[in-house]
Each structure stands twice: as structure tokens, then as C-alpha cells.
Amino acid sequence: MVSNVPLPTPGKDRVLFAVENCLLSVEAPPEDSLPQADISLQPLVQCLDVDNLIKLFTSVLVEKRILLRSNKYSLLTLVSEAICHLIYLFRWQQVYIPLLFFSGVDYIDAPTHYMMGLHSDVDTCNLAMDGMSLILSHTYPLQNSAI
């Protein structure tokens, strides 16, 4: 099916097609502009100081293991998504689990690079962590969020 849908001209065309009862549209962003994102970078900037933000950005670019810790689940997801949008023109190609549940804590020992978010109440002292682990500050106001 994908090969039957023509690619739109960047910034100009919009391709409409139907799948079952759903009408879908594909529109490429203009070549000279950034893509539109519904993700705010504000949580990321408010949770980390400049030094940790630079360390995080560097770790993402060199694809280190990244473990984000917070006691707010919604903050883990918002920050993880903001990081992925921050590295545009690049894409995070490694394991990406913005919210790792308690039962999956053993994945931190995985022999691969990853970006994971984990609740700060989970004990990880018995696990080998050879990447970057950041505790997100809890000063970011999430009361306006629907999450």
C-alpha cells in the first residue's frame, strides 16, 4: 500500500488517501523549515540545569545509555519526547522506552544503548549502569497538564 501513495512535494502538496473508513493525509514540511512538533521543550529545560542539559545532549548524540529518573511518570514521557525532538535532523535509533515499569527494571542491564525513563522509587543499586543517569528535578509545574 505504501508504494501506491505518491510522496508529496515538500511544503506544497498534500496527498489524501482512504484506508477503510478513515481519510488520511500526508504532507511533507517545507525543506527550509523545521518540522512541526506538539512537544514542548519547556519540561526538559526546566528540569535540568545547563551543565546537565549539555551532558544529556552530548550523551544522546554519541548514543550512550541514558536513564531518566523522576517520581512523576508524565515528566518522564515529556522529557523523553523533548529529547527526541531536540536532536532533529538526527533520530534516536536505539532502544527507546520513555516509561519503564517496575517489572522491566532488569532491562537496564541490557547490552545495548538505550534511553529509558524510570520512576525514582525503583531500586537500581544492584544493576550495572555504565551510561548516564539523570534525576529530573520536580520543580516543573505539571498541574496544567492533562497527563
* Mean pLDDT per 10-residue interval, the chain, length 147 residues: 63 73 74 71 87 90 90 90 86 92 87 90 77 67 38
Q: Which of 30, 39, 23 is nearest to 77 (CA)?
A: 39
51: domain CATH number is 3.40.50.11500
Residue 140, domain member (yes or no): no
Q: What is the pLDDT of residue 111?
A: 87
Domain span at 21 = 1-32
Q: What is the pLDDT of residue 102?
A: 85
As given in the structure block, the three cell numbers for residue 107 are 532491562
**CB neighbours of 108 closer than 8 A, spacing ≥ 6?**
67, 100, 116, 118, 124, 127, 129
- Look at the chain and report how many structural domains it folds into: 2
Residue 142, domain member (yes or no): no
Residues 75 and 25 in one domain: no
* 66 C-beta neighbours (distance < 10 Å), count: 22
Predicted structure pTM score: 0.69
**CB neighbours of 140 closer than 8 A, spacing ≥ 6?**
42, 43, 46, 47, 75
